[in-house]
Amino acid sequence: MTCLRTPRLTLRRWREDDIAPMAAINADPEVMRWIGDGSVRDRRQTAERIAAWEREWDERGVGLFAVECRGTGRLAGFAGLSVPAFLPEILPAVELGWRLGRPYWGRGLATEAARAVLDFALRDRGLARVVSVHAVGNTAAEAVARKLGMRRERETTHPAYGMPLCVHVLEARS
């Protein structure tokens, strides 16, 4: 089973008991402010997403990891890989994404998790190119992409919601 460890975090596949803490993260308007149309998700929607992420792992061998704090065993959020199907103009592509609950912000945890995922993507899965897409104005997400060494490639518009988006790219050194 795919599992990554960093000094402070364990990145692992999803379990049934992750639904409640992930639903609490998805119910926070501050967390969801820059995601899609900014609407929060309830427990049923969260459970459906987790089931879909697990199917991605089974079918593609990549997906979103549950991010757990090693010190407490608590779920902090997710980080991982997905196909940005909502943005056809950049396909084919694999997106590196992250979402943490508010108590976990501001400690470098998103960058720590995302670095481990990037290493997994490039070395373990042999991907040559990884993108990161975030809403223009999501300064924290942009800072994480920059700290990962990603290059700002373009700005575009969300096809469904109309807000400006920024695409960052990292290409593996050949």
Interacting residues toward ligand COA by CB under 6 A: 31, 34-35, 97-100, 105-111, 134, 138-141, 143-144
Residue 106 Cβ vs ligand COA, minimum distance, rounded to whole Å: 5
Comparing CB distances to ligand COA, the nearer of 78 and 120 is 78
Comparing CB distances to ligand COA, the nearer of 139 and 157 is 139
Residue 28 Cβ vs ligand COA, minimum distance, rounded to whole Å: 9
- Closest by alpha carbon to 3, among 17, 18, 13? 13
Backbone region of residue 73 per phi and psi (left: phi > 0; alpha: psi in -120 to 50; beta: other values)? left
Residue 174 Cβ vs ligand COA, minimum distance, rounded to whole Å: 27
Residue 89 Cβ vs ligand COA, minimum distance, rounded to whole Å: 17
Comparing CB distances to ligand COA, the nearer of 81 and 109 is 109
Residue 102 Cβ vs ligand COA, minimum distance, rounded to whole Å: 8
Residue count (the chain) = 174
Ordered DSSP codes for 63-100: -EEEEEETTT--EEEEEEEE--TT-GGG-S--EEEEEE
SS3 at position 41: coil
Q: Give the orientation angle of helix 139-147 with respect to helix 109-119, to 10 degrees.
A: 50
Comparing CB distances to ligand COA, the nearer of 13 and 86 is 86
Encoded tokens for 35: 């995601």
Comparing CB distances to ligand COA, the nearer of 49 and 134 is 134
